[in-house]
C-alpha cells in the first residue's frame, strides 16, 4: 500500500517505537490516529506533528486504554469516521526478571496489553477493515517470540502468542483484502527496558536497534505487505536454528542464566 493511501490506527503511539513510527508515517503522508494512555505525552506528540503537517486534519489523537472495552470501542468509532485501513498493534508493556521474581499483576498486565488487547481490537476493527479495497494489520512482536530467553519468560510468551495469532489470522483471511503481518524487532534502545534489562543485555552481548530503525521497518511493511519480518541477522540465524534444534541450543544460554542471577534482589539471590 502507498503511504498516501494509508489511514492508520497506531497504538502505543506515546512510546519510543510508537512516536518514531508516528513521525515517519506523518512525514510519508499517511493519515494517522495516535492512540495512547499518557495524555501529556500523546498530546505533546500530536501538537508537534500537527505543527509540521501540511494537512492537520490527517492527524488526530485519542487517549484511551486499549485493555478496556470502552477504550477499544472508542478506537473503533473514530476509526470508522476516519475510514481506517491500517491497524498497527504496537502498544506493549515490558517484563524482565526470573519468573518467581515477577509480580502476578505484572504478568497479567503483559498478557492483557501485549496479547489480549491486540487480539480483541483486531477482531473489533475487522468489519471496518474488510470493507476496504485493501487493508493491513501489523502486529509488533519480538524476536523473543521464537527464541526462549531466560529472564523474559512471561514477556516472550505473550509475543509468541501474538505471532501465532498473526499467522493463524493471516491464513484465515487469505481470500480477503486484509493482510495480516508480524514484525519481530530485537532489543530496542528506548525507555521500554529498565536498568536491569539493560544490564542483562550488556552482560549477554545482546544487540539492539534505535527506535527509528524499527519505525522504518514498520513503514516498509506497509509498502511491501510482507507477511513476516525479523530484525538483526544474528537473531534471524538463531531463530532458524532454534526452530530446527531447540534442545541443542539450550546450552548456549548459560551466560544468560548467570547474568539473570546478578539481577535478582539479594533476598532471592542464592
Q: How far is CA 91 from CA 19, 121, 172, 206, 251, in A?
A: 11, 11, 24, 23, 33
pLDDT of amino acid 55: 67
Catalytic residue among 155, 165, 182, 200: 155
pLDDT of amino acid 215: 97
155 is catalytic: yes
Task: Give pLDDT tens digits for 130-145.
Answer: 999 999 999 999 999 9
pLDDT of amino acid 257: 86
pLDDT of amino acid 67: 97
pLDDT of amino acid 53: 62
pLDDT of amino acid 54: 61
Here the contacts of 215-219 (C-beta below 8 Å, separation 24 or greater) are: 215/17, 215/20, 215/21, 215/23, 215/24, 216/24, 217/183, 217/185, 218/17, 218/21, 218/24, 218/88, 218/90, 218/138, 218/140, 218/183, 219/3, 219/21, 219/24, 219/25, 219/28
Regions of the chain where pLDDT drops below 70: 52-56, 264-270
Task: Give pLDDT tens digits for 233-243.
Answer: 888 888 888 88
Q: Where are the domains of the chain?
A: 3-263
pLDDT of amino acid 268: 44
Closest CA to 16 of 91, 89, 75: 91
3-263 to CATH, choices 3.90.480.20, 3.40.50.300, 3.40.50.720, 3.30.2000.10: 3.40.50.720
pLDDT of amino acid 265: 57
- Confirm if 94 and 192 have CB atoms less than 8 A apart: yes
- Confirm if 43 and 123 have CB atoms less than 8 A apart: no
pLDDT of amino acid 56: 65
Amino acid at each position: 500500500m502507498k503511504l498516501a493511501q494509508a489511514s492508520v490506527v497506531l497504538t502505543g503511539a506515546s512510546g519510543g517505537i510508537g512516536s518514531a513510527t508516528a513521525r515517519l508515517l506523518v512525514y510519508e503522508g499517511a493519515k494517522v490516529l495516535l492512540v495512547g494512555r499518557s495524555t501529556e505525552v500523546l498530546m505533546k506528540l500530536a501538537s508537534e506533528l500537527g505543527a509540521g503537517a501540511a494537512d492537520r486534519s490527517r492527524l488526530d489523537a485519542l487517549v484511551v486504554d486499549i485493555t478496556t472495552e470502552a477504550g477499544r470501542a472508542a478506537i473503533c468509532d473514530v476509526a470508522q469516521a476516519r475510514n481506517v485501513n491500517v491497524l498497527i498493534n504496537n502498544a506493549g508493556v515490558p517484563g524482565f526478571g526470573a519468573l518467581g521474581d515477577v509480580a502476578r499483576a505484572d504478568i497479567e498486565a503483559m498478557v492483557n496489553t501485549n496479547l489480549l488487547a491486540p487480539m480483541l481490537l483486531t477482531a473489533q476493527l475487522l468489519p471496518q477493515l474488510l470493507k476496504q479495497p485493501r487493508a493491513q494489520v501489523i502486529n509488533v512482536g519480538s524476536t523473543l517470540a521464537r527464541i526462549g530467553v531466560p529472564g523474559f519468560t512471561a514477556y516472550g510468551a505473550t509475543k509468541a502468542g501474538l505471532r501465532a495469532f498473526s499467522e493463524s489470522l493471516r491464513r484465515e483471511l487469505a481470500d480477503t483484502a486484509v493482510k495480516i503481518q508480524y514484525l519481530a524487532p530485537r532489543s530496542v534502545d528506548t525507555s521500554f527496558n529498565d536498568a536491569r534489562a539493560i544490564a542483562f543485555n550488556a552482560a549477554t552481548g545482546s544487540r539492539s536497534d534505535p527506535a527509528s530503525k524499527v519505525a522504518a521497518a514498520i513503514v516498509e511493511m506497509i509498502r511491501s505487505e510482507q507477511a513476516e519480518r525479523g530484525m538483526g541477522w544474528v537473531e534471524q540465524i538463531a531463530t532458524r536454528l532454534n526452530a530446527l534444534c531447540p534442545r541443542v541450543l539450550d546450552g548456549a544460554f548459560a551466560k544468560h542464566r548467570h547474568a539473570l542471577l546478578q539481577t535478582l534482589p539479594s533476598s532471592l539471590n542464592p
